Structure 1
Amino acid sequence: MSQPTIPAQIRGGVSNLFGNAGFVTTEGTGNIPLALRIGVLVNTALMLTGMVFLLLTVYSGIQWMMAGGNEETVKKARTRIVRATIGLIIVVGSWIITRLILNAVFGPVRQPGAIRFN
């Protein structure tokens, strides 16, 4: 019996390693509700925004620590941290509003195969 090739083993192992990891797959998306698709887009945008916030905060913190007593640099770093925090609050607030609107229009939508906690 012949062994599968190494690339085939890697492809099979990686695709089966995490399953679909809770994400909506692109195969057979015809029966996925519109609200779920919108929810995936909104959650992806929220995740990217969180990463940008983290990067801005870390960069500004490093800039603040390396300022060496330069008040101008400290002021810029502090302003960037405050603005990033305000932006994150606005994004989280808009996510809450979007979530409420989607639940009001479409009702609670669950991803197929998702775990339900009662």
Structure 2
Amino acid sequence: MKNKKIKLLLFIIILNAAGLFFGSAALAQSEADNLLWGGFESNVQETTGLGNEDPREIVAQVINILLGFLGIIAVLIIILGGFRWMLSGGDSERADESRRMIVSGILGILLILAAFAIAQFVLNSLYNATNAISKL
């Protein structure tokens, strides 16, 4: 009884291993010219007015634009803090507030750069995982 179970288990393992090594590709359907919208690209493009831009690229562009605007805001905060510091007129309380503003702006830029690096890593990893050519 135990010998039969071992033989059956060994047969199943060999059969599965043979299937892994000698399996063939499924020849169910040929690839469409444009797989972006699943063959319905003309209907989607006409309805939405978006064109045939890859949705991943659209998301990447939106992320880059938002991070760019946030970077501009952080630089403006640093500049505003510098002006306030120069115009504090010797008032130590206003000067300290201006220094905190400058430090906050610098920390904001560092966070934005970190977010940009993480976003680029994630987007490039997604492009590589889907075997697409990265245009970032």
Q: CA deviation at 1:49?
A: 0.8
1:60 aligns with 2:85: no
* Relative contact order higher in (CA < 8 Å, ≥ 6 apart): 1
Q: TM-score, normalised by structure 1?
A: 0.65
Partners of 2:76 and 2:90 in 1: how far apart?
A: 23
Partners of 2:121 and 2:76 in 1: how far apart?
A: 29
Which residue number corresponds to residue 108 of structure 2? 87
Show the 5 A alignment for 1:90-105. 90-105=111-126
Could you tell me which amino acid in structure 1 is paired with residue 119 of structure 2?
T
Structure 1 regions of 5+ residues with no counterpart?
Answer: 1-26, 112-118
Could you tell me which amino acid in structure 2 is paired with residue 34 of structure 1?
P
Instruction: State which structure, 1 or 2, has the greater radius of gyration over its C-alpha atoms.
Output: 2
The answer as to whether partners of 1:64 and 1:73 remain within 8 angstroms in 2 is yes
1:109 aligns with 2:134: yes
Partners of 2:75 and 2:105 in 1: how far apart?
A: 9
| Count of residues paired in the alignment | 85
Superposed CA deviations along residues 45-103 of structure 1, whole A, max 9, x for unmatched, are 11111211121111111100011110000000000110111111111101111111111
Percent identity between the aligned chains?
Answer: 24
Q: TM-score, normalised by structure 2?
A: 0.57
Which residue number corresponds to residue 72 of structure 2? 51
Could you tell me which amino acid in structure 1 is paired with residue 135 of structure 2?
R
Which residue number corresponds to residue 44 of structure 2? none
Partners of 2:72 and 2:122 in 1: how far apart?
A: 25
State the secondary structure of the residue aligned to 1:31: coil
Structure 2 regions of 5+ residues with no counterpart?
Answer: 1-47
